Chain A
Amino acid sequence: MVLVKKNAHLMPLVGTRTNEQKGAKEMVTLTIDGQKVTVPANSTVLEAAEAAGIHIPTLCYLKDVSQTGSCRVCVVEIGGRLQASCVFPVSEGMEVKTNTPLVRESRRTTVELMLSNHPQDCLTCLRNQNCELQKLSHELNIREVRFEGARSSFPLDTSSPAIARDPNKCILCRRCISVCSEIQGVNILAARERGFETVVSPAWQEQLANTACTNCGQCVLVCPVGALVEKDDTEKVWKALADPDTHVVVQTAPAVRVTLGEEFGLEPGTIVTGKMVTALRRLGFDAVFDTDFTADLTIIEEANELLQRLENGGKLPMITSCSPGWIKFIEHQFPAYLDHLSTCKSPQQMFGALAKTYYPEKAGLDPGKIVTVSIMPCTAKKFEAERPEMQSSGYQDVDIVLTVREFARMIKEAGIDFINLADGEYDAPMGISTGAGVIFGATGGVMEAALRTAYEVVTEESLDKLDFTEVRGLEGIKEASVNLNGTVLKVAVAHGLGNARKLMELIQQGKAEYHFIEIMACPGGCIGGGGQPIPTNTDIRRQRMAGIYAADKDMPLRKSHENPAIKVLYDEFLREPLGEKSHELLHTHYVPRLKYSEVEHPEAKEETKRGTAS
């Protein structure tokens, strides 16, 4: 086997301003609080202070995501004037003071002003105890708000099945705007109106559900307060669990096992699969299954689909379809290219369809009494579950989707001592999986799992080296080639919708010479999903990825086609990959959507006509 790594497009995960990229090797020395610090000449004062171990509070600043200098919390004194350290460049001989009466009074007044226009309903806020404004207020020793006055009063936006917006809690840090436009390239959120009336919202104050929002939830991850949150569906789950007539089945996505622990104080990347299974049983789920099972199934279906396209001259490159944020993105942004998508449903939806057909048939249950719950790293999965295409079992295939954060809240509410739980085992048959299913949780994982299977199926040789490291890691777009019996299979992997757009533009221009592409909506793949614990940042993504690959290594089976439960599934139920039953239950179609809201906005037309800038 020849595995050639091409000179991939060097695209950073996000707008990371590493020193190498800034191209400067030059160093400057400045003084911060009397301490001499030598840093690269292109550093900001904040970076220099960090290097010197001096803490400067920040709020709108978010490494790799947002540097707007707008909140004014990180001000320091330079030459007698206040400057925002997060954006102020260092220079030789500069004198910086981070703790003067002027600095303290300014920071404090700024945060007091924010609080004066904030609901301050901390006790009942979803972000209670994980709120950056709350933390900052405490850190700055704010004990009263001197300047009370009018508060913003904007309508809540609960239109989306995935994300809820409360602009009244928004502190206009604009991280969500940065992540949505600069990293994801979706451009849904922007500042509207001016001054005190400024509000972050979709254009024309449109409801999120009526926009090209992909539901990826990256905005939720970066929101420092409770202005952007996942739609909370925990109550629906409690209700189902309390209903003696229902049989509640749960599936857990691959990426959840390496992130859930963070909600309970464990290090990112800690593998908590066993504790998670035990917690689910304690909560009262009737069957605890694993999405990894249908991840393996996806590989079988998708690998066969690819081979079929290759043999029959089907549409290439074929692109993966596991990520519902990506699916909605391509439906809005590149509707002419939907036939590039694999027709395979995502593992979550394959699971749902089987959980209401194959499983009740096997277990002798009434499918009408089954409630399927998924624990996902994702907000977009909530939207996916509600798509009208996702009812091939005759019911809504997946009833309720919980993010990792919602799931953790349920565990806490139930009083379960998660850290000290004993390890449990998934139920059979839909809890049996391989390492190939686990790596779906990180960018490149679907590709790697597919290659493991495709290679062995085509070459009929066994792979000695299972790790396709070329497609791993946080580089924005990764490429690789695999020799399958003389045919060179060219593949590419993109994560983050901004990178996805770049690949799609290559396809548009006819320059993408790939056979197979994996795309995940979220930076880092599902381990960086919009439903993951907060904070999620580049370092944490790396740690979670390491957890995923460690979990893969631990598995006795690491190739999807070796999953015995999948073999039984085909023998007993599906008969063959891409067969009639598969098409009915496991494959889907996509809907072209508009880039802009379908709702009429007369003022939009008016504005376009005038053609004025603002």
Chain B
Amino acid sequence: MAEYRTHVLVCAGAGCVSSNCKAVEAALQDELEQVGLAEEVKVVETGCIGTCDLGPVMVVYPEGVFYQKLTPDDAREIVNEHFLKGRIVRRLLYKAPQSEELVERAEDMDFFRRQYRIALRNTGVINPEVIEEYIARDGYAALGKVLSEMSQEQVIDEIKKSCLRGRGGAGFPTGLKWEFTYKAPGEEKYVVCNADEGDPGAFMDRSILEGDPHTLIEAMAIAGYAVGARQGFVYVRAEYPLAVERLSMALEQARSYGLLGENIFGTDFSFDIGIRVGAGAFVCGEETALLTSIEGKRGEPRPRPPFPAVKGVFGKPTLLSNVETYANICPIILHGADWFLGIGTEKSKGTKVFAIAGDINNTGLVEVPMGTTLREIVFEIGGGIPHGKRFKAAQTGGPSGGCLTTEHLDIHVDYESLKQVGSMMGSGGLIVMDEDTCMVDIARFFLDFTRDESCGKCTPCRIGTTRMLEILTRITEGKGEEGDIEKLEALAHAIKAGSLCGLGQSAPNPVLSTLHYFRDEYEAHIREKRCPAGHCIALLKFVVDPELCRGCGLCTKVCPVGAISGKRREPHQIDTDLCTKCGACQEKCPFDAISRH
């Protein structure tokens, strides 16, 4: 086997693929050939490294130098400078947002330094398309251990003992689910993976599927053995073509290696996995809707009980977890539940992957121990808020969650603490909002999403979310009325209590949460027709500061409705009746004389 002096990990997660990492990698390979280093430097295409905002990125080992925002020309430069001459290309290094210092090595970046990777242990490290790379990192050792050394009950006990909880939403103890499915009467059982990740901005499941598909396959096989199933399904959304492609490839490899199919490892355990592609309905992430969709029917939830563990897909006992949950299984089996129990908080063990997005310097995917504070996630790992703005709130749990405010920066994030402050873990989306964010509009935004994604089966969700959205829209348009807040609250409580499934039961959360922490903003919109964050266009007034205006007339030229008038070289005025608040004048003014209030 060839010995390489340098390994270059090129991120080929979907984010980097769309910022053209393939061209960067091709240039890299080509240049290595040109300078004759192809035998010394190995380029590895990996899954998502996590720094999606910085892509295309690469990490050069053994030093661990992290290069970002690369072009094909940059890649050629790195070959010539770094690999040939041993000089780090400093202009391509990462600059820490607060200190503005250049950071050479990935492990010195706050973004990576504070992470603890279990679910993402291989993502961004191995080539997901090469099964040997997975096997080299203890891949399929857990399955081997389970099949050769452990009884079904022992496997279930180990998972129960680890206190692993579902990473997709409510945090139900995973081991209990396994036990229920195992104990449910019935010959035919199924193991299903929910990869219908639908929360806006959350993409940890996609990254694992793209970056480490074998960990899912191995975990599902272990689960199949434990609960007594011989068929698994991965329900993945059609919007994840790369994930589907890599998973399909991995399934083929696993089958050809005898790690799936009949008599795995020569035992009498047989198991295989099929892929079911969803058509993009958010509600299909709800477990009963997902199962209904697998059956080939319209993806709509059904009442529980019966729970999937008793009556799941095709009416048979079914174990259902999401990708991130399964990604924790193999390490638990290999290192033992006690190891896992050493990580996290009292009731939430292990780690959680967060997708950080919004008004934050380092957007991307991070895995941290349960109990990491919100402050650490936002200000250290996330690098704080851009443009020196103030932190206002963070939304967790996606459109079903709630917001955390400055007063929550020091809470230790886990299932319980988030629930206590009116939010939830959900799948781990974390959207950071700065001071310019209007919380009424944010609530409207999330409700617009859930309203749109309501399946239409039950009345409270189908009509109630529409009515709530109508009220929120009119508030942000300056047409709010006294009593609207009370109506929102009445609807929110009725929808939460009365809806059939988790989508409806959680849809009003962003409204209740913002009403709780930012009620004054709602009141300002309704009573004073004012948007305190200066965001809601309908409530804004554009004014010319006569002190700053030089009367250049650029604004009158750009105004599409002729609302601005004034003599040359004299301060201009905006006719607020005519003004459509498009903002073009403000953008155009060279003297910053136009402001909005």
Contacts and interface: CB of A to CB of B under 8 A. Distances in A.
Interface of A: 68-73, 75, 81-82, 84, 87-89, 102, 105-106, 109-110, 113-114, 116-117, 146-147, 149-150, 171-172, 190-191, 193-198, 610, 612-614
A286 B462 CA distance: 53
B454 A110 contact: no
Nearest to A72: B498
B279 A84 contact: no
A613 B467 contact: no
A196 B278 contact: no
Chain B CB within 10 Å — which of A71, A81, A88, A194 has the most? A194
Given A70-B459, A82-B498, 18 more contacts: A69-B302, A72-B498, A87-B303, A88-B303, A109-B490, A117-B463, A146-B490, A147-B463, A149-B466, A194-B454, A195-B455, A196-B466, A198-B462, A613-B276, A613-B278, A613-B279, A614-B279, A614-B299
B456 A198 contact: yes
Interface stretch (B182-190, B250-258, B290-298, B525-533): B290-298
Nearest to B456: A198
Contact of B279 (A73, A147, A197, A612): A612
Interface in B139-198: none
Contacts of A612: 238, 277-279
Contacts of B497: 81-82, 102, 106
Contacts of A73: 459
Interface string B236-277: 001000000000000000000000000000000000000011
Contacts of A171: 459
A197 B456 CA distance: 8
A81 B505 CA distance: 11
Nearest to A86: B303
Contacts of A114: 459, 463
A492 to B, nearest CB: 30
A75 B487 CA distance: 21
Interface in B447-470: 451-467, 470
Nearest to B306: A89
Contacts of A87: 303
Given A110-B494, A110-B498, A195-B462, A614 B293 contact: yes
Contacts of A193: 456
Interface string B466-510: 110010000000000000000100110110011110000000000
Q: Which 4 pairs of residues, A with B, have the shortest CB-CB distance?
A: A198-B456, A195-B454, A109-B494, A69-B303
A517 B301 CA distance: 40
A613 B458 contact: no
B86 interface: no
Given A70-B457, A109-B460, A109-B498, A613 B452 contact: no
Contacts of A82: 497-498
B463 A106 contact: no
Contacts of B298: 190-191, 614
A87 B500 CA distance: 11
16 contacts: A69-B303, A72-B499, A82-B497, A84-B500, A89-B305, A105-B494, A109-B460, A109-B490, A117-B463, A117-B466, A191-B457, A195-B452, A195-B454, A195-B466, A613-B299, A614-B278
Interface in B381-422: none
Chain A CB within 10 Å — which of B238, B303, B453 has the most? B303
Interface in B525-566: none
A365 B462 CA distance: 60
A562 B467 CA distance: 67
B281 interface: yes
Nearest to A109: B494
Contacts of B284: 614
A471 B466 CA distance: 52
Given A71-B458, A81-B497, A612-B238, A116 B467 contact: yes
A613 B277 contact: yes
B491 A147 contact: yes
A149 B453 contact: no
Given A147-B487, A149-B470, A612-B278, A196 B456 contact: yes
Contacts of B294: 613
A612 B235 CA distance: 11
B435 to A, nearest CB: 32
A172 B387 CA distance: 50
Chain B CB within 10 Å — which of A72, A84, A110, A117 has the most? A72
Contact of A150 (B462, B470, B500): B470
B491 A109 contact: yes
B299 A113 contact: no
Chain A CB within 10 Å — which of B281, B458, B465 has the most? B458
Contact of A113 (B457, B459, B500): B459
Given A88-B303, A614-B281, A110 B460 contact: yes
A81 B497 CA distance: 7
A149 B451 CA distance: 14
Contacts of B281: 194, 614
A147 B277 CA distance: 38
A194 B498 CA distance: 19
Nearest to B452: A195
Contacts of A117: 463, 466
A72 B303 contact: no
Nearest to A102: B497
A610 B491 CA distance: 39
A72 B301 CA distance: 14
B311 to A, nearest CB: 11
A149 B300 CA distance: 25
A149 B487 CA distance: 13
Given A84-B500, A106-B497, A612-B279, A194 B463 contact: no
Chain A CB within 10 Å — which of B459, B460, B467, B497 has the most? B459
B143 to A, nearest CB: 29
B305 A191 contact: no
A610 B281 CA distance: 15
Contacts of A147: 463-464, 467, 487, 491
Nearest to B474: A149
Contacts of B238: 610, 612
Given A194-B453, A613-B296, A149 B467 contact: yes
B303 A84 contact: yes
Contacts of B296: 613
Nearest to A73: B459
A271 B293 CA distance: 49
Chain B CB within 10 Å — which of A82, A110, A113, A610 has the most? A113
Contact of B456 (A105, A113, A194): A194
Contacts of B277: 612-613
A614 B456 CA distance: 14
A194 B301 CA distance: 13
Contacts of A72: 458-460, 498-500
Contacts of A146: 487, 490
A113 B462 CA distance: 9
Contacts of A194: 281, 283, 452-456
B453 A195 contact: yes
Nearest to B277: A612
Contacts of B454: 194-196
B16 to A, nearest CB: 26
A90 to B, nearest CB: 11
Given A116-B463, A613-B294, A106 B305 contact: no
A610 B283 CA distance: 20
Contact of A195 (B276, B451, B491): B451
Interface in B299-344: 299-300, 302-303, 305-306
Contacts of A68: 457
Given A69-B303, A195-B452, A172 B462 contact: yes
Contacts of B305: 88-89
Nearest to B461: A195
B459 A71 contact: yes
Nearest to A69: B303
A190 B459 CA distance: 17
A196 B454 CA distance: 8
